[in-house]
């Protein structure tokens, strides 16, 4: 079993829809949870960064962490064609500076 599981997609939705992207993880010691967005031929860029459990909102984006289920989610409201990209979850424990990466989900927003 991989430490972080993420469905690679692709996930195709119409413009304006609410998008839900998810990752599951196996190690309960993980504390830092991140979502990165990667456009084609570019490096990943940080979207959301949360510590421990709970929700965090930033504009149209909401990150949610459920430590009891070892499940993290990224919600995108009012999705736009410019949101079309690959979304990677990344997780880190307290004592290790390395990130464990999901495979990335390719998201396509149809106009």
Partner 1 sequence: DAGVIQSPRHEVTEMGQEVTLRCKPISGHDYLFWYRQTMMRGLELLIYFNNNVPIDDSGMPEDRFSAKMPNASFSTLKIQPSEPRDSAVYFCATSRVGGVGPQHFGDGTRLSIL
User: Interface residues with partner 1 (CB under 8 A)?
Assistant: 32, 34, 41-46, 49, 88, 97-99, 101-104
Smallest distance from the beta carbon of 69 to partner 1, in angstroms?
23
Give burial (CB, 10 Å; 0-12/13-18/19+) of 28. exposed
Smallest distance from the beta carbon of 13 to partner 1, in angstroms?
23
The C-alpha atoms of residue 5 and residue 89 are separated, in whole angstroms, by: 9
* Residue closer to partner 1 (CB basis): 84 or 86: 86
Smallest distance from the beta carbon of 46 to partner 1, in angstroms?
4
């Amino acid at each position: 079993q991989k430490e972080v599981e993420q469905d690679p997609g692709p996930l195709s939705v119409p413009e304006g829809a609410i998008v839900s992207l998810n990752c599951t993880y196996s190690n309960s010691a993980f504390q830092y949870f991140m979502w990165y967005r990667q456009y084609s031929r570019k490096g990943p860029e940080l979207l959301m960064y949360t510590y421990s459990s709970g929700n965090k909102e930033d504009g149209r984006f909401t990150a949610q962490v459920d430590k009891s289920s070892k499940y993290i989610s990224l919600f995108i409201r009012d999705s736009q064609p410019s949101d079309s990209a690959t979304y990677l979850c990344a997780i880190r424990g307290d004592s290790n500076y390395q990130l464990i990466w999901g495979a990335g989900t390719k998201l396509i927003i149809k106009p």
